C-alpha cells in the first residue's frame, strides 16, 4: 500500500487524486449529512489502484474496468 494525501470534505481534491475518482467523490459528498463537514478523505494506493477513503465510512475505488464506484467502508 502506498499512502497518498488527505483533504477535507468540501475542499477540492488535490491534483494527485485521479480524474476517474472525482465525480464519485463529489456524489458521495453531496449525499452526506450536514454534520459530515468535518470528515476527511485519504487517498491511498493498493496494488496500483487508487482508493479514496472517507473517515465518515465510505470509500471510492475503481472496478476492474476502471469505473469509479462507492460503498460503505470495508475493513
- Strand-pair category, 58-62 with 49-54: antiparallel
pLDDT of residue 68: 97
pLDDT of residue 75: 64
| pLDDT: which is higher, 75 or 71 | 71
Contact 47, 35 (CB under 8 A): no
pLDDT in tens, 13-70: 999 999 999 999 999 999 887 656 689 999 999 888 999 999 989 999 999 999 999 9
pLDDT of residue 41: 96
pLDDT of residue 36: 64
Q: pTM value? A: 0.88
State the sign of the Cα–Cα–Cα–Cα dihedral 42, 46, 48, 51. Answer: negative
All three cell numbers of 18, joined, read 485521479
**Structural domain spans, the chain:** 2-72
Which residue, chain included where needed, has cell 459530515? 36
pLDDT of residue 55: 92
Amino acid at each position: 500500500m502506498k499512502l497518498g494525501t488527505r483533504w477535507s470534505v468540501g475542499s477540492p481534491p488535490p491534483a494527485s487524486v485521479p480524474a476517474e475518482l472525482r465525480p464519485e467523490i463529489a456524489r458521495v459528498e453531496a449525499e452526506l449529512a450536514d454534520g459530515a463537514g468535518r470528515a476527511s478523505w485519504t487517498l491511498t494506493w493498493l496494488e496500483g489502484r487508487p482508493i479514496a477513503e472517507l473517515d465518515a465510512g465510505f470509500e471510492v475505488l475503481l472496478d476492474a474496468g476502471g469505473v469509479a464506484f462507492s460503498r460503505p467502508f470495508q475493513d
